[in-house]
Amino acid sequence: MDFKVIEFNGEGDHVHALIEYPPKLSVSQIVNAVKGVSSRRYGQAGLQKPHKDALWSPSYFALSVGGAPLEVLKEYIRNQEKPAH
């Protein structure tokens, strides 16, 4: 899939990602790809899921940040806590 994760960090119950992608892709396609790949890698690493059924919830929140200074966005994401799991 044709997208680039520019910055990624998270907290215990959610993550923040700055992603560059072409208009031909929908946000749901990207979210599904990120959730799918990360779930597989999590399992391959032998890690226990924080919830018994799934690593991710079925929901997500997306926000467009067009026009915002890239360095400000990257710094905001870097300052988030690391994922707990």
Whether 85 is covered by a domain: the verdict is no
Output the pTM of the full model: 0.79
pLDDT at position 52: 72
Whether 72 is covered by a domain: the verdict is yes
Domain count, the chain: 1
The pLDDT of residue 9 is above 70: yes
Residues of the domain holding 23: 4-78
pLDDT tens digits along 27-73 = 999 999 999 999 999 889 988 877 777 889 899 999 998 888 999 99
Q: Is 33 helix (H, G, I), strand (E, B) or coil?
A: helix
Q: Which two tokens stand for residue 66?
A: 């067009």
pLDDT at position 82: 55
Of the pLDDT bands very low, low, confident and very high (cuts 50, 70, 90), residue 83 is low
